[in-house]
Amino acid sequence: MPRRLAMCAPDRFDVSYTINPWMQPDQWTIKRDSLRMQAKNGWHQLVETFRGLGAEIDFVEPVDGLPDLVFTANAAVVLDGKALIARFRHKERQGETAIFENFFRRLSTRGLIDQVHMMPEAVCLEGAGDCVWDSTRQCFWLGFGPRSDRAAADILEKIFGQTVVALELVNPHFYHMDTALCPLSGGEILVVEAAFSPADLARIRDMVGSHNMIPVPPDSAARLAANAVCLGRDLVLCDCSHELNLTITEHGYRVHQVPLEPFALSGGSAFCLTLALDRRSRQVAQAA
């Protein structure tokens, strides 16, 4: 279970451009000051929730002109002490690569990361946001299409030596894998069915078994409920329906709701705002 997380305070958070359907700068501007205040409050509550669950947090310094830097899930794919730094699809976020690279180089001088890898020029991969680790099946779920390229699968396999299951994200609202799918520590998986083609949905069901599929209904998907952080038996998310909360609880998890609504106006929520730095695959954990 990850215990060390990277986060970035929303001091420069803003919705000033549109790179996904959730982002509407005109709407945002009307209530900008109060939304930014709510964002800061919610983010601090998220920090306190993680600390209460025993996590340690390393902070990326906010940077002027990079409002989405707060979404540290997109910084890199991290597993077994290796970090593969993101290459972003849109020019609006490309400036973040150097900041995140720097952050990981500093972690490596502190002995918290062993290797820092960069993506080749031509291939996009937006970090853990599109490459979700499944500790039960020991595989990455890679979402490709809107932000990351399918070709990232080979690079991931080479660097991490793990299985990569590549699925196309077909719904523009669920443009990163972490908005569409969330593996829980006990083997269940939250899935936004509308995010995938029928064939890929069948593939997910085949891989995890119907009994492990917890569908996220449209009302909860619209609140980005699948964008949740699972720490053991604790699940941290912004909001979901009462029914989904009950289902998750019946599977043996404690649901922690944190008010992160302003981040949804940028297309993000709890998982996007964090990055696990100390995940280990079973192979490496057993060798240690």
**Binding residues for ligand ARG (CB under 6 A):** 19-20, 23, 68, 71, 73-74, 93, 129, 176, 178-179, 266-268, 272
In angstroms, give the least distance from the CB of 288 to ligand ARG.
29
Q: How far is CA 234 from CA 62, 185, 253, 273, 278, in A?
A: 28, 9, 6, 17, 17
Distance from C-alpha of 98 to C-alpha of 227, rounded to nearest angstrom = 25
Residue nearer to ligand ARG on the CB measure, 19 or 184: 19
> Closer CB to ligand ARG, residue 25 or residue 252?
25
Closest alpha carbon to 216 in 185, 260, 259, 248: 248
For the beta sheet containing 234-237, the strands, ordered from the edge strand earlier in sequence to the opposite edge, are: 229-231, 234-237, 254-257
CB 237, min distance to ligand ARG, A: 13
Residue 152 has φ and ψ, to the nearest 5°, of: -65, -20
Using the minimum distance from each CB to ligand ARG, give the nearer residue, 32 or 233.
32
Q: Are 217 and 204 in contact (CB under 8 A)?
A: no
Nearer to ligand ARG, 169 or 208 (CB): 169
CA 76, 234, 46, 35 torsion: positive or negative? positive
> Which pair of tokens denotes residue 205?
């069901």
176 noted as active-site residue:
yes
Q: How far apart are CA 232 and CA 2, in angstroms?
A: 9
Is residue 238 annotated as part of the catalytic site, yes or no? no
- Cβ-based nearer residue to ligand ARG, 147 or 256: 147
User: Where are the alpha helices (H) located in the chain, listed in sequence order?
Assistant: 25-30, 32-52, 91-94, 96-109, 152-160, 198-208, 218-221, 242-250, 261-264, 282-287
Nearest residue relative to ligand ARG (C-beta): 129
Catalytic residue among 176, 182, 238, 256: 176
Of 131, 230, 238, 272, which is the active-site residue?
A: 272
Give catalytic residues, as residue numbers. 176, 272
